[in-house]
Structure 1
Amino acid sequence: MAVAAAAALLAAACGGDTATPSGPQVVRDSVADTLVVRTVSGSVWGGEARLVEEVGVGVFDGPPEQIFGSIRSIAIGPEGTIYVMDGQIPAVRVFDADGAYLRTLGRSGEGPGELSQPDGGMAMLSDGRLAVRDPGNARLQLYDPESGEGIATWPVVPSGFSTSTPLVRTRGDTLLTPVLMERDRDASEWEIGRQRIAPDGSIVDTLRAPDSGYDPPRIEARRESESGSSVSINTVPFSPNDQSAYHPDGYWIEGISDAYAVTLLRPGAWLRIEREVEPVRVPPGEKAQAEALATRNMRRTDPNWRWDGPPIPDFKAFFNDFAVAEDGRIVVGVELAGVEGDDPDYDPTEPDAVERRWRAQNALDFFETDGTYLGRVLLPDEVSSYPPPVIRGEHMWAVTADDLGVQRVVRYRIVPPSADGAAAAESAATASDAGAEGSAG
């Protein structure tokens, strides 16, 4: 059913309203050299997909290789092998596709194969080498995943620049890693580029992210001392921001979240993916909580800080980020209406305690690279946004954390409603056949 709906959408490239009996209603239009694909309603999946847990690694108490201190990054091998970077050790734990522990790569240190302060960058090259970004040693460390040995170091990462932004591997095995374009500028003016690294470790060039010209609402705190200056800069909670990501096929993706629109800057012809959705309102209680948390964070830099930026908006931004699945699909992260409840960890005797009665609900919207809207996946509360999930085909690998903060890496299967219906129909048919055979006997 999903294949038929997608094919019908592809056939409607000439523009105008198009609908399939069970698929999305789509409007296609061309604006200059940009094809606009706007989903008015519906989806290929026909509803929200479920996440079904298949495999998990990580425990509160048990074998030491199953206990994680601080997961910074995950990577997945071609056969589903799971690589987990634990920055607290630091080292990479390797598990097979069924969750069985295999080996550990690296250890703390500065020598070959050793790690100092690895951050959120880890990627597997097509020949099986594993690249780990290690700003503490100002390099990328390459491992042979079979032997566990460090096989190369590429001195391309500026010392001390740690980031949660993942490494991006293109189809030709070029790696892209974030770098500061001009390190001597004030933090409020920092520009992050992407350094391209060839499969042999040589630096190709540095790409600048697309300049949207958008200046997102921000708040800022500064503190001057004899040892230097400190600055904290954050966007205003729930406000729109400009986002960019690099597609493995070799082009940028950009969007400003004041509208549900993401543009693929493909060579020759751009594609703008849009959805018609109602904005999500921010209730007064959720707004007050967000302001209290932001104020607390700013006062850790400047104890006398008072709100100095634009107010928190009445509606949430249409999306909070986007990424590219390993098969090229576009995945847009959205924040839904907050849910109010109790905060069992709130301690009013703590000087800077903030009662967190509101929790966010997050979801992922999936699109094909032709703009076809596949559908939405609701994320369980325990799924963490950092490090970002790895998505490939019908599977998603994500880091989770329970109420005690115990981290796990879980492989989920994405199950659309159509798959549930097919399974139910098959089960009913099997039961019917069994009943017929019993009657015949």
Structure 2
Amino acid sequence: MDDPVYGLSVVRGVLTDADYVYVLLGREGRVRVFTRAGEFVRDLGGSGEGPGELMTPSGMGWYGSRLWVADPSSRRFTLFEVATGEAETIPYDVNAPLAYHFLSVVPRVILANGGLVGSPTYSGTRVIARGGISRLPQLVSDTAGTLRDTLAVLSLGGGPVEIRAGLAPDARMYLMHSLPDDDLIAFAPEGTSAVQVKRRSWEGSDPAEFEVTRIGVLGDTLFQRRIAYEPRRVPQGFFAEQISQSLDRPNVVNRRAHARALREFYEQRRYFPPVTTVRVASDGTTWLAGPIEGDERVWLVLDASGAGIGRVRLPASSSVGSANGAEVWVVERDALDIPYIVRYEIVP
């Protein structure tokens, strides 16, 4: 836990190649490089705002032979030569004609064709004041900051909800649901495509399906499939802890009224969303995580054409970082919430 090299903190991503494992550490602002056997090799970057330094790294991928890291706070991408640590910085300054409820556009991904993908951020207060938000465009620009295209548009199941019941007269709170059913998107590590998942929670009448679309770098549809699933009902009392924590806020003046409002808000979700996470692997497969089942989480794996090729069972605390047909690297947390990088061999 206290080891300066192996004591990982906030892991934002994992990538692998034939020789090394790259672990993006958000708190330390660097990429830690290990051999595939787990031996420390070097660090790329470091915490700071200078050249080659990172403030709040959020993701990484490949642009040719170089490793890029997106840094929203610094509003830039940093590209590293993995052998030498030499770094190049690409400023990200998109001046896009956005709707009034967006605050800014933050860097997200570098595509294989050199396009820079950014995602808008928004304020809960503004969304409430303007009547909600239903779509979140994924914008493509060039290195000069000129907006070139929209790669995808994510549908949002509902923005923040304002709750005032049971609070002091001048108080209000904004809640996002803990079981969101907004669209998901993930990008191939090499920036060659993206996968968008439409995953509306089942309401008990229509067929239980979700939609998976693979999108090329020019916004073209590579495949689109609807996948049936078995809905899982949210058990009674599932939201009790979240409601209890909210009741301890200092501005709650009527606990019963506030608890009733929170219960009505949370219990509008009667079924778990079919997909909780999506990952795109370097071999072209798509990994879709379902809700937790006991101490496991089942990942559905699709091939490059969108056909299902199998299911992989992993511990509930794990999140897929990198995968191919032979192995999967995951971020796994222990009982003390300490992250580890774990490699699993895939077996029939």
Report the TM range for the smaller structure's normalisation.
Answer: 0.7 to 0.9
Q: 2:9 aligns with which of 69, 78, 101?
A: 69
Q: 1:103 to 1:211 in 2, by over 3 A?
A: closer
The structure whose residues are more often helix, as a share, is 1
User: 1:320-399 residue pairs with structure 2 within 5 A?
Assistant: 320-337=276-293, 339=294, 361-383=296-318, 385=319, 389-399=321-331
The CA deviation at 1:320 is 2.3
Match of 1:73, as an amino acid? G
Q: 1:279 to 1:130 in 2, by over 3 A?
A: same
The structure whose residues are more often strand, as a share, is 2
- The unaligned stretches of length 5 or more in structure 1 are 1-59, 340-359, 417-441
User: 1:128-139 residue pairs with structure 2 within 5 A?
Assistant: 128-139=65-76
Aligned to 1:14: none
The CA deviation at 1:143 is 1.9
- The unaligned stretches of length 5 or more in structure 2 are 96-102, 203-207
The CA deviation at 1:217 is 8.8
Aligned to 1:290: 239
Q: 1:91 to 1:336 in 2, by over 3 A?
A: closer
Match of 1:147, as an amino acid? T
The CA deviation at 1:168 is 4.2
- Structure of greater Rg: 1
1:102 matched to 2:41? The reply is: yes
- Over residues 259-316 of structure 1, what are the superposed CA-to-partner deviations in whole Å (9 max), with x where a residue is unaligned? 33224266478532323x43223332xxx13243255258659645441526244432
Q: 1:222 to 1:150 in 2, by over 3 A?
A: farther
Q: 1:61 to 1:147 in 2, by over 3 A?
A: same
CA RMSD of superposed structures (Å): 3.9
Aligned to 1:143: 80
Q: 1:82 aligns with which of 5, 21, 25?
A: 21
Aligned to 1:316: 272
1:172 matched to 2:116? The reply is: no
Q: 1:281 aligns with which of 233, 241, 251?
A: 233
Q: Distance in 2 between matches of 1:382 and 1:173?
A: 35
Match of 2:276, as an amino acid? N
Q: 1:400 to 1:86 in 2, by over 3 A?
A: same
Q: Report the number of matched residues.
A: 317
Q: Distance in 2 between matches of 1:296 and 1:209?
A: 36
User: Helix, strand or coil: the match of 1:293?
Assistant: helix
Instruction: Report if the CA contact (8 A) 1:265-1:271 is conserved.
Output: yes
Q: 1:65 to 1:203 in 2, by over 3 A?
A: farther
Q: 1:303 to 1:156 in 2, by over 3 A?
A: farther
Instruction: Report if the CA contact (8 A) 1:240-1:317 is conserved.
Output: yes
1:155 matched to 2:92? The reply is: yes
Aligned to 1:56: none
Aligned to 1:424: none
- Over residues 208-241 of structure 1, what are the superposed CA-to-partner deviations in whole Å (9 max), with x where a residue is unaligned? 63365x745975457999xx9985431253x644
Aligned to 2:30: 91
User: Helix, strand or coil: the match of 2:238?
Assistant: helix
Q: Distance in 1 between matches of 2:153 and 2:137?
A: 10
TM-score with structure 1 length normalisation?
A: 0.60
Q: 2:56 aligns with which of 117, 123, 127?
A: 117
Instruction: Report if the CA contact (8 A) 1:180-1:190 is conserved.
Output: no
Identity of aligned residues (%): 24
Q: 1:89 to 1:182 in 2, by over 3 A?
A: closer
The CA deviation at 1:250 is 4.6
1:271 matched to 2:220? The reply is: no
Instruction: Report if the CA contact (8 A) 1:135-1:157 is conserved.
Output: no
User: Helix, strand or coil: the match of 1:99?
Assistant: coil
Q: 1:244 to 1:221 in 2, by over 3 A?
A: farther
Match of 1:398, as an amino acid? V
Q: Distance in 1 between matches of 2:125 and 2:159?
A: 24
